[in-house]
Structure 1
């Protein structure tokens, strides 16, 4: 399950007042070393864009860390060495070459990003879709995103970086007071609605979680997302050829879909709802 879908499921189940997403990352800056901690002031989704004959045109996606939680972190972690408050880049590729095309792409388009990881944008976007949920991404630096990454990993740097990030997150949480005093149970209460399953033929106003070369993953219910294949996306533009899925559906777009198939593993295939020759979609609004 990807980070966005898992985050939406957790948020729907626990209904938290704040979300802290903690893990490891590679450093993109010479002054940020292994063992340091980065509290993300912004999260960049770095793969959005379009390749044209004139070159690559980036279409940046950004999610801001909660101002309340960032300020709480600055206060709580004041005495902790090696803590940085800077943007973080998120992509679908492990960066292990600081001279690669990807590294140059980040330097050119996301020059203020100080670290790179693979999951933060999914969690941040899911929190954004859930409404007013304070969210903070905390990352421990486990490598320098260069050719020495495998050596750093072999030395145990990932577990050490994760421990540092977890310590920072717990320190921040200890400074927070819940809005309501009753303890939160990890078991669903009797008043919680029963989990809802999707069925073939059912229609939903879905939200695009992620676009890939072969289609778009669309959330239809909390914790339930399916694939709208590029062959189905063509129907949204009258059957025309689709070169870039993001040209038709951007992350956050709303689209009416119907469950076409659910395989034996529970994977959901979707198709667009077309009525009177038209499909209903809406772009993400800020």
Structure 2
């Protein structure tokens, strides 16, 4: 028999990959036969589903099945202690870049940064309120775990100020090239309509959090507060975003649309 997962490991897989339509699709990409996968509607919970998947792994239906599943899990929760025995650092080093170039609606992100500072000692931020693309190159050497970018965005375009004080439009792909060969545990794009940029930046970050719709200054600060508070209680940025979204909706029902417009993009190595 091939090596499978323990019950404790299966519980973690059930948390990382819940009962959702995307889970079977992920397994198919890993080499599982679509026609023989269990029906997610035929089980009561995700743990039961993963028990059935584990049987397939143990019988060798997919060569290297355990390793394939771990690779997929590693993209979502690279610091999971149960699966990988790795603890995340106690403090997240954060580079906060704020950019409000001339000619566009002025952004007020001092309050946003204050929310990050007030979230707790698990964050150690450096603040650049007049950021240029030169600041991005500091992410290459591994000093920082997380980039928080407060700026204007439009699809895959991000708006910076150049060294002459003029507006500079930077495509997300070019921003990723400035970060390489570095890789971040997380990027937070606190910017309007930044989903397309987040999809591109997944190449240089384990998790990228962005916004599908417009984002006003007040909501940017509110979201930052909930997100970074939750990050102190979870193992990864994706989990923090999910928790923050749910807590914000419960406590600020009038902000439901903003919270539901939060986008979480998992990293890719391609």
Confirm or deny a common fold (TM above 0.5). no
TM-score w.r.t. structure 2 length?
0.22
TM-score computed with the length of structure 1 as normaliser: 0.21
Structure richer in strand, relative to its length: 1
| Larger RCO, structures 1/2 (Cα 8 Å, 6+ apart) | 1
